[in-house]
Structure 1
Amino acid sequence: MNKMKYFLKPVLFFLIAALPAVAQQKITLDEIWRGGFRAQGMDELNTLKNTNQYTVLNGNSIDLYDFATLAKVSTLLEGKGFSQLKGGIDSYTFSTDEKKILVATGSEPIYRHSFTATYYIYDIAAKTLTQLSENKVQEPVFSADGTKVAYGYANNLYVFDIAAKTSKQITTDGKRNSIINGITDWVYEEEFAFVRAFDWNKAGDKIAYIRFDETEVPEFTMEYYQGTLYPQEYKFKYPKAGEKNATVSLHIYDLKTGASSQIKLGDYTDFYIPRIKWTNDANTLSAQVINRHQNNLDLIFVDAATGTAKVVLNEKDNAYVDVTDNLTFLNDNSFIWTSEKDGYNHIYHYAKTGKLIKQVTAGKWEVTSYYGFDAKTGNIFYQSVENGSINRDVYRININGKNKVRLSSQAGTSDAKFSPDFSLYLNNFSSATQPEIFTLNSAKDGKVVKEVLNNNTLLKKLEGYNMPVKEFTTIKTEKGHELNAWFIKPKNFDASKKYPVLMYQYSGPGSQEVANQWNSYNDYWFYMLAQEGYIVACVDGRGTGFKGAAFKKVTYKELGKYEVEDQIDAAKVIAQYPYVDAARIGIWGWSYGGFMSSNCILKGADVFKAAIAVAPVTNWRFYDSVYTERYMQTPQENASGYDENSPINHVKKLKGKYLLVHGSADDNVHLQNTMLMVEALVQANKQFDWAIYPDKNHGIYGGFTRIHLFTKMTNFIKENL
């Protein structure tokens, strides 16, 4: 579920000229969802490895820049010069020697991360394009020597020889809804957040890949209406909690012999392979194997010459082990690893044998991003919440755990993109009062070398709206739990008056909504509601992240119990504020947040007057195996945990006003959740409001959809809160 949270992707936006200031201009939904408050950003940078440079996709051209000066050096590829790219460049990747580029065009999405596209190989020196395949393919990647490209098509793997311009099919049993080679199935893509399940070794003569046998996985069916006379049926394999998963196996294909061999990983049953990665030794493959409960993870090294597999590191947890992309192999094949084993997420350095060399970071705070390792200096760069769980700072520390330096200096959220030689970094800073500022900084001391981009024009425009400030605080519940919170009050707030309150939350495991960073789309809606006389509040209860493993994992086997208790208890505290109308408190959320708001209006019927649930899980038995069982085990093992905390089983408790919203083509949280919730409410003779958005997925967007949805929610709030 990727924490079951939907994000709109940032879009490069030219700043809108500041409007003339008035007493208080009104924020409108149309302006929010048409990008009127979108902050200017920078295109995603692709840092080169062989030179201290980076590239940016500017429109339909790939431009090269110098990291030290940020000056444009040249244009590597001008798309308009090639008829094949007239539809635009969607994405691109370099060969290891950075002399060739794989260019994607005509991309067609499949699920959250996956897509097919037409790919071309661009030779930078020769300025030529070579089509990879006549078909739209998935996840192409260069071999280490840049002479070949492996890719997925129709559930099989292929290797393209660039010089010969020929493709060789290396797997043959791929079949839709049956066998997948080298590309993940739906649940791996969604919950382990990767699509390419194959990898080249360092010599370019072997490909490791995961094979998925979906034969026994139950199928789910959706219908697309699309204005046609008959709806179009779409079927895909979707393992729900407690049901059969795909059977996975690990294979290595040898290009010299043309043969594949299956690797015997060990005596595992009902397991996942959430990551594979070749080490710096061309004959040593790493694979992570985790049990179905996801509380026992083995890091395995496979000798590709003999096929033998050896466990070099084991992670156990009483609840669950998080899978990350932080595994980094150093020149001697020792490796960097992150773990919560001391109660907080920290960085560790292990020998290639799996023996611990050093816990690099330590303390009652979390490492939130691992940026990389500089082999020349021995320094590791990372982001953490050492200066408060709602803030993010950039740090440097030596691999021996000494000489830690805080590189960022302002309270808020700093995020870094380092130059290939780790001498400089582009810093993106924002806070609740400061939109993104991009600066070039020194990796030695964090000092600003130059400002790259700011959003002063947006700040000037917002002055005309005279918006209130988001106030950060903590709430202590009656049970003694201290929870991070923020409040947005009307600008003309009068403490002698009584205000209605709308609470917003997400609350999923490891998530965070109370963060000191710049506005999201939702925030502008909250400011709009504040202009209409509402107080908007957000509370991160137990189960959310960045306050240690114990705080996050307390919800294990009981999703929706402690998180709901905390929202209800926080609402009770807020209700006691002298300026709050205790009879007019509402709550809303999306996805996991919709699951939460549904539970709150039912279990907290005497506290909440109204609730909005968008795309909610209403019964954990309906959701996928990997996400649900990570936190709940299976329904066969934990029936009470599932049933006591699923809102569909508490519909008789409804007293307040309830709005239920879903997209009919939601491949993630299926419409089934809402349809059966509706039936349960009907049979309980409970009145409620609901809306279905045809052919919309979990994000419920496209055209006027978001404006329509938020208009509906705004009207619901005004009428019922």
Structure 2
Amino acid sequence: MTTEKPHDTFPRQYARTGRFTAGAPRSFSVSPDGARVLFLRSRGEQRPANLLWRLDVATGEESVLADPEALLGGGAEELSAAERARRERSRETSAGIVGYALDAAGRTAAFALSGRLFAVDTADGAARELPAATPLLDPRPSPDGAHVAYATPGGELRVSAADGSGDRLLAGPEADGVSWGQAEFIAQEEMGRDRGYWWAPDSSALLAARVDDTPVRRWWIADPANPGRPPVEVAYPAAGTPNAEVGLWLLGLDGTRTEIRWDRAAYPYLARVHWSAGGPPLLQVQARDQREQLVLEADPATGATTVLVTERDADWLELFGGVPVRRADGQLVRITDRDGARVLTVGEKALTDAGLHVRSVLGTDGENVLFTASAGAAEFERRPPGWLGVFEAGPDGVREVGDGALGAVRGAGTTVLTTAHPRRPGTTVTVHREGAEPLPVASHAATPLITARPVFRFAGERRIPCAVLLPTGYDPDVDGELPVLMDPYGGPHGQRVVQAHNPHLVSQWFADQGFAVVVADGRGTPGHSPGWEKSINRRTAEVSVQDQVDALHALAEQFPLDLAKVAIRGWSYGGYLAAAAVLREPDVFHAAVAGAPVTEHDLYDTHYTERYYGDPNAEPEVYRANSLVEMAPSLRRPLMVVHGLADDNVVVAHSLRLSTALLAAGRPHTVLPLSGVTHMTPQEQVAENLLLLQVRFLKEALGLL
């Protein structure tokens, strides 16, 4: 554990430690025999580069398999532009080894480091660099361990023998804008698919995505602080504009090629691909409006596909982690919405009911399926707000594996559980094997300088999950009512109210500046029910703001909230929500800080935006009704807009258009541009000063200074 530094502050510590992830173990794998557990972990905040570790389950001994400092000879890590973009898409803030892939036996691990190819024998610990075309991306061993495939920023998919010989091209390069074996922008950013190729179980071939992004419109992101630098060209598929064209091919190591065929005009989105020894390849493809999707089985010999499942929904269909997948017996495992509940199915049989709201599948082990779930409608209020658990479904029914578990990995009876608790900093990782005491996996993460003290409540008639944080040492008899800071994300795929400690640290820091901080997960956020998530359809501004209002008023009956002094802040969707709140409800919200807000939805990407608002060419009125730019003339409260100028996800044009509209309407406001900052703000000094400036702005706006 690290010790407190002189003159250290929580904001600096939070940024320096990558939100306290530096030194925490992650990315677990269990060998097929259950004897070894592999994982990534750095030595702590002073040495934040991840190493690859091995845990011997029998002895509990940990050993280093791959150390970036040793492999690079002490040299600095160098990242290609493509790798930096990939890490931005996945919100990856660490360094060193950030991912690895294993062969079927768990004997060979391959990984990229500084754009170079490395492999390590997980049994004897022998690590080596393999000759390869550099820089490279996403190396993956074949199941038999004989080969390693990888992609390049130039659009190539290549393969090399595991002994370092015979590196060769499998596909590409083609024309500019065409790549093989890589996920396109919206697959990475919105679909949860970060890979673009998959090995055949017998190691004879690969399924590879061919992505042609030449139809996608080009945007240019400049660095105004350095006008001598040329702008960066970005292929950005904004709502209502063309997407990349994505196909799938079977590439044999013998040089054969077979196109996998489906109706790509009707189902252009390749959402998931799965290929295991349980049967032929599975594809999940979606219509562009995301109201219909298919699970297909592909014939590797001919490329023909057969429809296994057709799903339709009047609002939209969600994509879930880990599915569709096959069990070892070939049965299809899915997550689907039935009768208002989100359930786990094997074949046509539902294994769960309305008591659980299934979130993701973590893996299969024989006939058993490991999955995460929150409380379903039938059990919602019997669990605390933000509760999550890990479960196992099999022939003997469904049983809970870990209460408060964030995730799990299993192999041959060995289970790795990651758990969190709201009164305990960080996460706890333990390795479980029947008949043995749990083995702890050590964490080198820093201990936060502050302690979060969230109080959880369901608020109002809709029972909105909330966390309330009061200043450390707050005395109601002395301090009285407190000014309020609403601190939501409040939108799709962004659950903030969780039964964990560290996710509430920033809210606690704001509370310690003299606020009662309220985090409310209104309709549209995950973890409740399908109907809860989809009630924002076509009306995000109205519904999201109303739930913040309702949560605030309900909690004021239980906590010392001064409703005459209420501010709201947020980032990304939370920034949109903060600005919408102060524009739509100025009698409730008296100041706002909007960070990286989506202000005009036709400036955001297709897969996300069209899911909630439709096609802007067909439903322009929906876009106008939810546009902050359209609402701009109604501003009569202090508003600070913050945006990173290098953001290629929510581009700074969003905030500039809002500012222009506010100026045209004669509405005073504050704009804080962050030079060189992307959608994340990892820089230590920037992160600290950004928090301090927000506090000062909000206190001035509420008359507290």
Q: TM-score range by the shorter chain?
A: 0.7 to 0.9
Structure-1 residue corresponding to 2:104 = 96
1:144 and 2:152 matched:
no
**Which ranges of structure 1 fall in alignment gaps of 5 or more residues?**
1-13, 20-24, 107-116, 351-355
Matches within 5 A, 1:71-220: 71-72=61-62, 75-77=64-66, 82=71, 87=76, 89-90=96-97, 91-106=99-114, 117-122=115-120, 127=126, 129-153=128-152, 154-163=154-163, 165-176=165-176, 178-220=177-219
Please say if 1:47 is aligned against 2:30: yes
Write the deviation string for residues 468-523 of structure 1: whole angstroms up to 9, x where unpaired.
732111221xxx42211121123333268332111111111243212221123xx3
Q: 2:488–2:521: 8 Å Cα contact kept in structure 1?
A: yes
Counterpart of 1:421 in structure 2 is: 412
Aligned match for 1:265, one of 262, 269, 277? 262
Identity %: 22
Q: CA–CA distance in 2 between the matches of 1:162 and 1:455?
A: 33
Which of these residues, 342, 346, 353, is aligned with residue 362 of structure 1?
353
Match of 2:365 among 365, 374, 379: 374
For residues 78-105 of structure 1, the C-alpha deviation after alignment (integer angstroms, 9 at most, x for no partner) is 6666566755752433333344332321
Q: Is the 8 A contact 1:576 1:582 kept in 2?
A: no
Contact 2:31 2:105 in 1 (8 A): no
Query: In the alignment, is the contact (CA less than 8 A) between 1:270 and 1:291 conserved in 2?
Result: yes
- The answer on whether the counterparts of 1:510 and 1:552 sit within 8 Å (CA) in structure 2 is no
1:438 and 2:428 matched: yes
**Which blocks of at least 5 consecutive residues in structure 2 are unaligned?**
43-49, 78-95, 376-382
Q: Distance in 1 between matches of 2:592 and 2:457?
A: 24
Aligned equivalents of 1:451 and 1:63: distance in 2? 14
* Aligned residue identity for 2:336: S
2:327 to 322, 330, 348: 330
Q: Distance in 1 between matches of 2:14 and 2:665?
A: 38
| Alignment partners' CA distance in 2, 1:48 and 1:619 | 48
Mapped contact 1:543–1:555 kept (Cα < 8 A): yes
Deviation at 1:702, TM superposition (A): 1.5
The letter for the 2-side match of 1:383 is: T
Return the offset for 1:349. Answer: 0.6
Please report how far the alpha carbon of residue 15 of structure 1 lies from its aligned counterpart in structure 2 after TM superposition.
Answer: 3.7
Aligned to 1:22: none
| In structure 1, C-alpha distance between the alignment counterparts of 2:28 and 2:559, rounded to whole Å | 50
**1-side partners of 2:69 and 2:555: how far apart?**
58
Over aligned residue pairs, what C-alpha RMSD do you find? Answer: 3.1
Structure 2 partner of 1:70: 60
The aligned amino acid for 1:397 is A
SS of the residue corresponding to residue 404 of structure 1 reads: strand
For residue 474 of structure 2, the aligned residue among 479, 492, 499 is: 492
Q: Is the 1:365–1:548 contact (alpha carbons within 8 Å) kept by the matching residues of 2?
A: no
Q: Report what 1:568 is aligned to.
A: 549
Residue of structure 2 aligned with 1:404, choices 388, 398, 402 = 398
The answer as to 2:282 corresponding to 1:286 is yes
Is the CA contact 1:471–1:486 (under 8 Å) kept in the aligned structure 2? Answer: yes
For 1:48, give the aligned amino acid. S
In the superposition, relative to structure 1, how do residues 468 and 308 fare at CA in structure 2: closer, same or farther (>3 Å)?
closer
TM-superposed CA distance for 1:155, in Å, is 1.1
1:3 match: none
1:456 & 1:148 partners in 2: Cα distance?
35
What does the per-residue CA deviation read over 1:402-449, in whole Å, with 9 as the maximum and x for residues that have no partner?
44333335xxx3234344212x4333332222224636365669x963
Q: Please give the secondary structure, in 2, of the residue aligned with 1:407.
A: strand
CA distance, structure 2, for counterparts of residue 93 and residue 670 of structure 1: 33
| C-alpha distance in 2 between matches for 1:456 and 1:287 | 39
Is residue 287 of structure 2 the alignment partner of residue 306 of structure 1? no
2:458 to 452, 456, 474: 474
Match of 2:243 among 242, 245, 248: 245
> Counterparts of 1:548-697 in structure 2 under 5 Å?
548-574=529-555, 579-697=560-678
SS in 2 for 1:643: helix
SS at match of 1:673: helix
1:555-595 deviation digits (Å, cap 9, x = unpaired): 11222221112223333445667843222111111000000
Which runs of structure 2 are paired with 1:27-42 in the superposition (5 Å)? 29-35=11-17, 38=20, 41-42=24-25
> What is the CA-CA distance between 1:602 and the residue it aligns to?
0.4
Task: Give 1:391's match in structure 2, choosing from 387, 394, 397.
Answer: 387
Alignment partners' CA distance in 2, 1:707 and 1:420:
42
2:458 alignment partner AA: T
Distance apart, 1:157 and its partner CA: 1.6
Distance 1:598-1:189 versus aligned 2 partners, 3 A rule: same
State the distance in 2 between where 1:569 and 1:502 align: 14
- 1: distance between equivalents of 2:74 and 2:328? 39
> Whole-Å Cα distance in 2 between the matches of residues 273 and 515 of structure 1?
31
Q: d(CA) in 1 for partners of 2:651 and 2:258?
A: 38
Q: Deviation string for 1:36-93 (max 9, x for gaps)?
A: 9948733443322244211244657644322244223x55456666566755752433
Distance, in Å, in 2 between the alignment partners of 1:407 and 1:469 is 27
Tell me the distance in 1 between the aligned counterparts of 2:39 and 2:427: 18
Task: Answer yes or no: is the 8 Å Cα contact 1:53–1:419 preserved in 2.
Answer: no
Q: Aligned pair in 2 of structure 1 residues 82, 698: CA closer, same or farther (>3 Å)?
A: closer
What amino acid is aligned across from residue 251 of structure 2 in structure 1? Y
What is the TM-score of this pair, normalised by structure 1?
A: 0.85
Deviations along 1:288-313, one digit per CA (max 9) or x if unpaired, are 11100112110111111122210011
Residue 686 of structure 1: CA displacement?
0.5
The count of residues paired between Structure 1 and Structure 2 equals 663
Maintained 8 Å contact 2:15/2:684: no
Contact 1:121 1:132 in 2 (8 A): no
Is 1:651–1:680's contact at 8 Å kept on the other side of the alignment?
Answer: yes
Which residue identity lines up with residue 417 of structure 1 in the other structure? Answer: A
Q: Name the CA shift for 1:36/1:429 in 2 (closer, same or farther; >3 Å).
A: same
Q: 1:456 to 1:173 in 2, by over 3 A?
A: closer
Contact 1:618 1:646 survives alignment (8 Å)? yes
Q: Aligned partners of 2:222, 2:545: CA distance in 1, in Å? A: 33
Higher mean Cα deviation, 166-175 or 625-634? 166-175
Deviation at 1:173, TM superposition (A): 4.7
Write the distance in 1 (CA, Å) between the matches of 2:259 and 2:296.
15
The question of whether the paired residues in 1 share the 8 Å contact of 2:469 and 2:511 is answered with yes
**d(CA) in 2 for partners of 1:130, 1:533:** 54
Q: Check the 8 A contact 1:225/1:232 in 2, yes or no.
A: no
Contact 2:216 2:244 in 1 (8 A): yes
Paired with 2:127 and 2:434, the residues of 1 have a C-alpha distance of 41
Q: Does 1:515 align with 2:498?
A: yes
Please report how far the alpha carbon of residue 529 of structure 1 lies from its aligned counterpart in structure 2 after TM superposition: 3.4
User: 2: distance between equivalents of 1:203 and 1:455?
Assistant: 39
